[in-house]
Amino acid sequence: MIIALNNKSHLDKEEFEKYNEELETINTRHTLILCPSTINIPLATHKNYYLGAQNISKFKEGAHTGEVTATQAYTYDCKYTIIGHSERREEQHESNEDTNEKIKRSLDANLTPILCIGETKEEREENRYKEVLSKELTIATRDLTETDKEKVIIAYEPIWSIGTGIIPNNNQIDEVFSFIKEFLPNNKILYGGSANEENIDELNNCKYIDGYLLGGLSLKLENLQVFIDKIKD
């Protein structure tokens, strides 16, 4: 299983140093990936975890103030990068075409992309979620070779579930994961959105989950250890 931690824009320098020390004591047989806030990347010791970026630039390099490129992230020991998180799609107006560019940049720089997809509450209620997810998947993986396509890790994060404490039921998760597998039968698929040490017992009964992308829980390491210990694989 893959356990990816998304710190988002939390933890200042001092807080991150303490956090990193505590994270080193986490005990797991799973693949642990930490995606800290970009500025904390050089402080991350990554002894018992892999390092990932939360985002990379769609540009290879050049005059793009404030951007961090895939190659730069790689040279700071990142092995993974999140692409197209819903918060970036919403707040930074990232398009599916942007996610496609970013996936290409990351693969060129030897970073494994973790592509986030997911529908809003409205899209779910109007039964348009499959349409949204298929568009996100199709455009993001456009022009990739079959080998490159298979390298992309998919994270299904329903937007209505992120930070809300509400998670889809197992039938809803199984349905979406089967749907993703119709497009990408050999890719790893993570679930993200309010996953925690209390609902993991239920999530354990889902058919296809290859791991989790955790936001809030990434900041509560005691609870994270409980979550990890309860994962059934």
Query: Any idea which residues carry the catalytic annotation?
Result: 85, 157
Q: Tokens 């993200």 map to which residue?
A: 192
Q: Are 70 and 108 in contact (CB under 8 A)?
A: yes
DSSP 8-state class, residue 49: S
Nearer to ligand 13P by Cβ, of 54 and 69: the residue is 54
What torsion, rounded to 10 degrees, do the Cα atoms 135, 137, 142, 148 define? Answer: 180
Residue 16 makes CB contacts below 8 A (sequence gap 6+) with 36, 37, 40, 43, 44
C-beta of 192: minimal distance to ligand 13P in Å? 4
Distance CA 143, CA 5 (A): 29
C-beta of 92: minimal distance to ligand 13P in Å? 15
Nearer to ligand 13P by Cβ, of 3 and 217: the residue is 217
Nearer to ligand 13P by Cβ, of 85 and 149: the residue is 85
C-beta of 168: minimal distance to ligand 13P in Å? 12
Site residues, ligand 13P (CB under 6 A):
6, 85, 157, 162-163, 192-195, 213-217
